């Protein structure tokens, strides 16, 4: 029995030893990243040597925000993958960012300086104690000193004590300054990393082979806390030239690991949303019965996974600088257009730090002919707004996003490019043009108020003046309005529209005008409102 126990213990030790030998840590290079609007898919590759039997290969140092269901592992070689497991290792923390390491080095340097100053103060305190002790000895001996000797001794003591005291005071001030700097740097680290460091994500792959072979493993998985959103630079040099659109991807990530020199792809797909066609269930209706007091009903939508990635709206500030005549060549970016998605593949590798900061990458530059037209609504604003209509916008794979506008080589403002339009042409707002003057004023001579019988009639007349100070002709759409009656007792009549088109349902009047250089056009809008004299209608 004793021999059996010894043999069993030996067997268990042997198995444990063999198991430890069959676990191998591997390093897999992060080769490429596909970034989606609110997450990212990472791809790793590793070359491995597989011994005979079963071996567990561990890939560590990964993000702790991995979506476990998205993990895919492929093997290449004469071996079989028996299983794939994932866990977060809380005993191993992820490597710190270079920026945080630099801050920690600054803290260590300041701490060393503070220690040096404290050591110097200790030496000065010893000197001070020595001076005080020698003064006591001199007094105790009651040595007779001449006046000059006593003066010299007092000067020596006073000068040395003054020097020691001032030096100690200066060093204490330096120490306080170092301690303030250390506290500020420590707060900076705390704000960036939080109270605890992130654990390390691990993927374990169990592989088996009948003989020693060489092989390759490829890993892919989806992580949260990453994403991208589009923005644009829209440039128009002249209304006779095409509109230039610079399509940019603003990428961010705080996954806990840095993406070092990786090939980036930007996709507009949403693969986490169910691809199944929704089904219409019968819609039953009944009398409404209010819920009993105290019962709170909470609804939830099933089948939709909410994004866990933060939407970062931090935008880089841009100066209103003049566009250079000769611009740098655009980056080489490949575009893959699928049935339902578009992916932009950036040719040059990028490094994206895990700090949540926005990094902007240009992914497309296009030039499209546009039909330019000005729009003005002088009742609301006396400015003329330039718009451009692009007919081939669907071919450019655009997404809705903020746009920075440049017109005639100058920064003119911000706008929003909305591609959610059910039209053949895409309208782009290009800001205001100060070369077009617009003025709207009430014509007092044609504005009146009179009572006839039981009714009161008010007449309003407005003159709108538009002048084109540009060197070329322009097209401009002028909008104004007349009130709409919502009561049978109130009658509204448009008496003068100067050729404008009235939408009787909305009351909006539109004029499509073509104005030559240095030409001024005048538009008159006159309408009357009749209602019972004992009633009040607010018209201004």
d(CA 317, CA 52): 59
Q: Which two tokens stand for residue 479?
A: 């909008």
User: Which one-letter DSSP state was computed for residue 331?
Assistant: P
Angle at 382 between CA 379 and CA 387, to 5 degrees: 100
Q: What is the pLDDT of residue 42?
A: 95
Could you tell me where the DSSP H helices lie in 271-409?
none
Helix-strand-coil percent breakdown of the chain, rounded to 5? 20, 45, 35
Q: What is the pLDDT of residue 145?
A: 58
Which of 487, 502, 492 shows the shortest CA–CA distance to 528?
492
Ramachandran assignment for 293, one of left (phi > 0), alpha (psi -120 to 50 degrees), beta (any other): beta
Instruction: Please give the radius of gyration of the chain, using alpha carbons only, rounded to the nearest integer.
Output: 39
d(CA 255, CA 354): 6
Q: What is the pLDDT of residue 89?
A: 80
Q: Which two tokens stand for residue 495?
A: 């008496």
pLDDT tens by residue, the chain, 540 residues: 444 444 444 444 444 444 445 888 898 889 999 999 989 999 999 999 999 999 999 998 899 999 999 999 999 998 999 989 998 887 666 555 566 677 778 888 888 888 888 888 888 888 777 777 766 655 555 556 566 656 666 667 777 778 888 888 888 888 888 888 888 887 776 666 544 467 888 999 999 999 999 999 999 999 999 999 999 898 888 888 888 889 999 999 988 888 999 999 999 887 666 556 666 666 654 545 555 544 333 333 333 333 333 333 333 333 333 334 445 555 566 666 555 577 888 888 999 988 888 999 988 888 888 888 899 999 999 999 988 888 777 777 788 888 888 888 888 888 888 877 767 778 878 888 889 999 999 998 888 888 888 888 999 999 999 999 998 899 999 999 999 988 888 989 999 999 999 998 899 999 999 999 999 999 999 999 999 988 888 887
H-helix or E-strand spanning residue 183: helix 147-193
Q: What is the pLDDT of residue 317?
A: 34
Beta-sheet pairing, 53-62 with 199-209? antiparallel
Q: What is the pLDDT of residue 136?
A: 60
Residue 494 Cα distances to 27, 40, 447, 483, 484, angstroms: 79, 59, 13, 10, 11
- Is domain 437-532 given the CATH code 3.40.50.2000 in the classification? no
Q: What is the pLDDT of residue 326?
A: 42
Q: What is the pLDDT of residue 218?
A: 93
The DSSP annotation for 89-134 comes to EEEEEPPPPHHHHHHHHHHHHHHHHHHHHHHHHHHHHHHHHHHHHH
Q: What is the pLDDT of residue 322?
A: 36
Global pTM?
A: 0.61
d(CA 164, CA 92): 50
Q: What is the pLDDT of residue 496?
A: 93
Where are the domains positioned within the chain? 28-96+198-223, 98-193, 437-532
Q: What is the pLDDT of residue 217?
A: 93
d(CA 177, CA 171): 10
Q: What is the pLDDT of residue 214?
A: 92
Q: What is the pLDDT of residue 319?
A: 37
């Amino acid at each position: 029995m004793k021999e059996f126990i010894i043999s069993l213990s030996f067997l268990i030790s042997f198995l444990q030893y063999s198991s430890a030998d069959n676990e191998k840590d591997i390093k897999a290079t992060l080769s490429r990243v596909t970034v989606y609007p609110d997450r990212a898919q990472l791809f790793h590759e590793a070359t491995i040597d597989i011994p005979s039997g079963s071996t567990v290969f561990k890939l560590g140092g990964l993000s702790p925000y991995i979506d476990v269901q998205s993990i895919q592992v492929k093997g290449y070689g004469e071996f079989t993958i028996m299983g794939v497991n994932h866990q977060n290792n809380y005993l191993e923390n992820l490597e710190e960012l270079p920026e945080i390491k630099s801050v920690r080095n600054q803290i260590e340097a300041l701490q060393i300086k503070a220690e040096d100053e404290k050591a110097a103060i200790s030496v000065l305190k010893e000197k001070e104690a020595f001076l005080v002790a020698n003064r006591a000895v001199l007094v105790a001996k009651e040595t007779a000193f001449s006046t000059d000797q006593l003066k010299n001794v007092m000067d020596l003591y006073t000068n040395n004590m003054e020097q020691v005291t001032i030096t100690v005071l200066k060093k204490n001030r330096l120490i306080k300054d170092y301690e303030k700097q250390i506290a500020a740097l420590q707060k900076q680290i705390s704000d960036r990393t939080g109270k605890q460091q992130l654990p390390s994500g691990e993927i374990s792959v169990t592989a088996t082979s009948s003989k020693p072979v060489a092989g390759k493993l490829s890993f892919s998985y989806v992580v949260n806390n990453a994403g991208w959103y589009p923005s644009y630079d829209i440039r128009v040099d002249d209304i006779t030239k095409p509109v230039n659109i610079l399509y940019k991807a603003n990428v961010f990530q705080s996954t806990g690991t840095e993406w070092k020199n990786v090939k980036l792809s930007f996709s507009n797909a949403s693969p986490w949303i169910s691809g199944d066609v929704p089904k219409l269930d019968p819609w039953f209706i009944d009398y409404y019965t209010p819920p009993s007091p105290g019962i709170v009903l909470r609804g939830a939508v099933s089948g939709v996974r909410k994004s866990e990635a933060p939407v970062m709206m931090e935008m880089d500030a841009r100066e209103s600088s003049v566009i250079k005549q000769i611009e740098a060549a655009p980056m080489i970016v490949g575009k893959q257009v699928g049935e339902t998605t578009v992916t932009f593949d950036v040719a040059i590798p990028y490094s994206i730090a895990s700090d949540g900061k926005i990094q902007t990458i240009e992914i497309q530059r296009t030039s499209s002919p546009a039909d330019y037209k000005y729009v003005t609504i002088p009742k609301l604003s006396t400015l003329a707004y330039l718009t451009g209509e692009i007919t081939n916008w669907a071919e450019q794979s655009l997404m809705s996003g903020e746009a920075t506008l440049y017109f005639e080589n100058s920064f003119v403002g911000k706008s929003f490019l909305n591609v959610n339009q059910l039209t053949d042409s895409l309208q782009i707002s290009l800001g205001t043009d100060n070369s077009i003057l617009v003025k709207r004023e009430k014509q007092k001579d044609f504005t009146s108020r009179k009572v006839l019988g039981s009714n009161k009639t008010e007449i309003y007349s407005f003159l709108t003046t538009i002048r084109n100070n540009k060197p070329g002709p322009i097209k401009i759409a002028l909008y104004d309005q007349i009130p709409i009656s919502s009561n049978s007792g109130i009658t509204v009549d448009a008496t003068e529209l100067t050729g404008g088109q009235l939408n009787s349902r909305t009351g909006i009047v539109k004029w499509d005008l073509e104005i030559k250089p240095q030409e001024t056009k005048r538009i008159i809008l006159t309408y009357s409102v009749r209602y019972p004299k004992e009633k009040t209608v607010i018209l201004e």
